A and B are shown apart, each in its own frame.
Chain A
Amino acid sequence: GAVVSQHPSWVICKSGTSVKIECRSLDFQATTMFWYRQFPKQSLMLMATSNEGSKATYEQGVEKDKFLINHASLTLSTLTVTSAHPEDSSFYICSARDVGMGGGYGYTFGSGTRLTVV
C-alpha cells in the first residue's frame, strides 16, 4: 500500500531556532499533502494544505510566516517551524492523498514528528 515517510520522528530544539520536517510519498505521487498538528488528548487539527508547485493554503489562525510549507515535487513536502517557541511543541503529522486509490479514502499518514522546544 501507499507509504508516507516523515522525518524526523522527534526533535528537540532551542527556542528561537527553526526546525524542518519532511514528508515523502514513497510509492505514489501526491499532488496534495496535508499538515496536521495534534496536542495531547486532542484530535488532529489541519494546519495547511500543500499543493505541488503552488502556495500552500493555511487554515484560519495558522501563521503562514511561522509555518513555512514547501511542496517542490510530487513526492516531497516540507514544513519549517521558524523561530520556534515552547508553545509550538506538539505532534506534527503529514498526510498525502493517493489519487490512484480513488474516492475520498486515499489519505495516508506519516508517522508524525514530536517537536519539543526548550
Chain B
Amino acid sequence: QKEVEQDPGPLSVPEGAIVSLNCTYSNSAFQYFMWYRQYSRKGPELLMYTYSSGNKEDGRFTAQVDKSSKYISLFIRDSQPSDSATYLCAMSNYGGSQGNLIFGKGTKLSVKP
C-alpha cells in the first residue's frame, strides 16, 4: 500500500460546479497536510495547508482533514476555468528542522466554460 493515494482523474466539471478532491493515507504520524496546485510545466504552488484534523476555508477553497479516517479533502466552490490544473495532496510528519513531503499522484481537473 502506498503511503498516499490519490485518484489521478482526469476530472471534468462545468464552470460553477463544486469540486471535491480527496486523498487517503496510511501513515498515522502525518500531522501537516497540504494541497498544491500545479499548472502544466510549472512547479507546484501551495494552495491550502492544515495542521492535524479540522477544516480550513480560504475563499472558494475548503480543506478538510479527518485523521481518524486518514482522509483529506479539498473542495472548490464556484469552480472557474482558471482552476483547471493538477491538484496534488501532500503531507509531512515534520519531526524537526528537516523533513520532506510525501505527495499523492495528483488529480487533473478541467473546468469547462
Contacts and interface: CB of A to CB of B under 8 A. Distances in A.
Contact of A42 (B94, B101, B105): B105
Contacts, number: 62
Contacts of B8: 41
Contacts of A114: 41
B41 A105 contact: no
Contacts of A44: 44, 88, 103
A109 B104 CA distance: 16
Q: Looking at A4, A51, A91, A105, which has the most chain B CB atoms within 10 Å of its CB?
A: A105
A-side interface size class: 20 to 34
Interface stretch (B11-19, B45-53, B65-73, B76-84): B45-53
Nearest to A36: B103
Interface string A16-41: 00000000000000011010000001
Nearest to B106: A43
B43 A112 contact: yes
A107 B101 contact: yes
Given A43-B104, A44-B88, A104-B51, 6 more contacts: A4-B43, A43-B6, A93-B44, A104-B92, A107-B90, A107-B101
Interface of B: 6, 8, 31-32, 34, 36, 41-46, 49, 51, 88, 90, 92-94, 97-101, 103-106, 108
Closest 3 CB pairs of A and B: A104-B94, A104-B32, A109-B43
Contact of A99 (B34, B45, B93, B97): B97
